[in-house]
Amino acid sequence: MTSEAAKDSGPLSSIEAPVMGILSKVPLSQVPMWGKAYFQPMETFAANRKDANFGPVAINLMLIGLVAWASFSIASVISSGLSLSTGAALAVLLVLFPISMVIGMFISSGITFVLAKIFGGKGGFMEQTFALTLVYGGFTVFAFPFQALSSVPILGFILGLVTFAIGIYNLYNHYLIIKGVHSLTTWKAIAVVVIPIIIALVAMVVFLAIFAAIIGGLIGGAIMAKGMGAFPPAM
C-alpha cells in the first residue's frame, strides 16, 4: 500500500493493510470491495462506478443480506441453541434478509437523494445508492464477528459497543459519499446525513410517548375498575 493510499484511509490507515490481507482471501469477490470501501469509500466507488446500476446494486445488497443473516443466525444459535423452531425461523429469514436489504436500501437512499437534491446535489440516484451499498457492505463485514458473538453473556455487551463504534465510523463514510457523489459543501453533506437521523429519533420519541400514554391509560383504567369493584353495587 502506498503512502498516498494510507493517507486516503484517514484514521484507519494503520489497520487497512492487515485487514485487507484477510479479506482478500475470502472467496466471495464482493467482500474485499466492501472492505476497501469502508477504508476508502470514494476511491472504491470511482474504481467500480461502471456497476452503478440496478442489477449490480441489487446483487450486492442481497449478498450483504446473506452476510447479515449469517451473523444473526450464529448469534441466535449461541443464544437459544439449534432447535427445530429456530431452524425453521432462520430458514424463513434466509429469504427475508436479502429482500428486506434491497427494499430498505432503496427506500433510505431515496430519502437521502431527495435531501441531497434539495441542498443542490448533482449526483445520480443509482450512483449514490451503489456507493452507499459499498460502504454498508463494509460495515456488515467488519461487524460480522462482533454481531455473531453478541449473545455471549458479558462479552456480548462489549462486542455490542464495538459494533456501535463501527457503525458510527460508517456515518463518516456516509458523509464522504454524499459529499463526493453530489459535490456538496461540508455542511450541506452533514445536513443530508444528519437530518434523517434526527427525524428518526424524533419519530421514535413520539412513538414511545404515545405507547406509554396508551399503556398508562390501560393500567389506570384497570386500577379504577378494580377499585370500583371493591364497593357493593348501589341498591
Domain of 20? 3-185
In a domain, 230, yes or no: no
In a domain, 129, yes or no: yes
Provide the number of structural domains found in the chain. Answer: 1
Which tens digits make up the pLDDT trace of 40-97?
999 999 999 999 999 999 999 999 999 999 999 999 998 888 788 888 889 999 999 9
In a domain, 213, yes or no: no
In a domain, 158, yes or no: yes
Which tens digits make up the pLDDT trace of 82-131?
788 888 889 999 999 999 999 999 999 999 999 999 999 999 999 999 99
In a domain, 145, yes or no: yes
Buried-state track 101-132, b at ≥16 Cβ within 10 A, e below 16: bbeebbeebeebbebbeebebebebbbbbbbb
In a domain, 224, yes or no: no
The answer to whether the beta carbons of residues 125 and 110 sit under 8 Å apart is yes
> Residues with Cβ < 8 Å from 143, sequence gap 6 or more?
71, 163, 166, 167
Which tens digits make up the pLDDT trace of 145-171?
999 998 888 888 889 899 999 999 999
Query: CB under 8 Å, gap of 24 or more: what pairs does 8-11 form?
Result: 8/39, 8/40, 8/43, 9/39, 9/40
pTM of the model: 0.83
